[in-house]
């Protein structure tokens, strides 16, 4: 009985100590030092890259990023400005990369004459890149880099 009373007293003591402790402060790297209850000032919008350089993809099956500005492009059910340059019939004149054959297929892999409705709204998958510093630290490495490091001779690993 005495052990049970001692155990309950210890639980009450530690439980009350936890409630009396100052709140745990968490700093969100994206939000900064602004407390959660307060409204933070939004960061300035970074300029969009406009380099027209094809970027390496980070992972298999990643949609390519858009290497130019698309401000003011109309992409709706009536018109798609992207297709002015990237539709297969226009790429010889514009020299833009053509849409993949998969953009002309329906979900049953039937080839269509026009762009598939499920692939029509380009910015659902493809995004322009901003010239901005990363919001959070990132040490991501491509699988090819990791495999090269693992298969490299021991003298190269130093």
Give the Cα separation of 68 and 56 in Å (integer): 15
Q: Is 11 annotated as a binding residue?
A: no
- Angle ∠(135,136,141) on CA atoms, nearest 5: 120
Q: Is 7 annotated as a binding residue?
A: no
How distant is the alpha carbon of residue 105 from its chain centre?
A: 26
Q: What is the DSSP letter of 148?
A: H
User: What separation in angstroms does the CA of 64 have from each of 40, 69, 94, 97, 136?
Assistant: 33, 14, 18, 11, 23
Q: Within 13 Å and on the Cβ side, how many CA atoms surround 90? A: 10
Q: Is 140 annotated as a binding residue?
A: no
Q: Is 61 annotated as a binding residue?
A: no
Q: Is 136 annotated as a binding residue?
A: no
Annotated binding site for heme c: which residue ranges?
Answer: 68, 82, 85-86, 103, 122, 125-126
Annotated binding site: which residue ranges?
Answer: 68, 82, 85-86, 103, 122, 125-126
């Amino acid at each position: 009985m005495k052990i049970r009373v001692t155990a309950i007293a210890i639980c009450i003591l530690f439980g009350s100590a936890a409630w009396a402790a100052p709140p745990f402060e968490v700093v969100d790297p994206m939000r900064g030092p602004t407390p959660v209850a307060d409204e933070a000032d939004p960061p300035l919008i970074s300029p969009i890259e406009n380099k027209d350089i094809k970027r390496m993809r980070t992972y298999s099956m990643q949609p390519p990023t858009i290497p130019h500005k698309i401000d003011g492009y109309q992409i709706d059910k009536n018109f798609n400005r992207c297709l002015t340059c990237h539709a297969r019939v226009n790429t010889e004149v514009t020299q833009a990369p053509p849409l993949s054959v998969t953009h002309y297929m329906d979900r049953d892999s039937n080839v269509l004459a026009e762009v598939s409705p499920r692939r029509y709204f380009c910015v659902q998958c493809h995004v322009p890149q901003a010239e901005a510093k990363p919001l959070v630290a990132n040490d991501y490495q491509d699988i090819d880099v990791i495999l090269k490091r693992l298969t490299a001779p021991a003298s190269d690993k130093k």
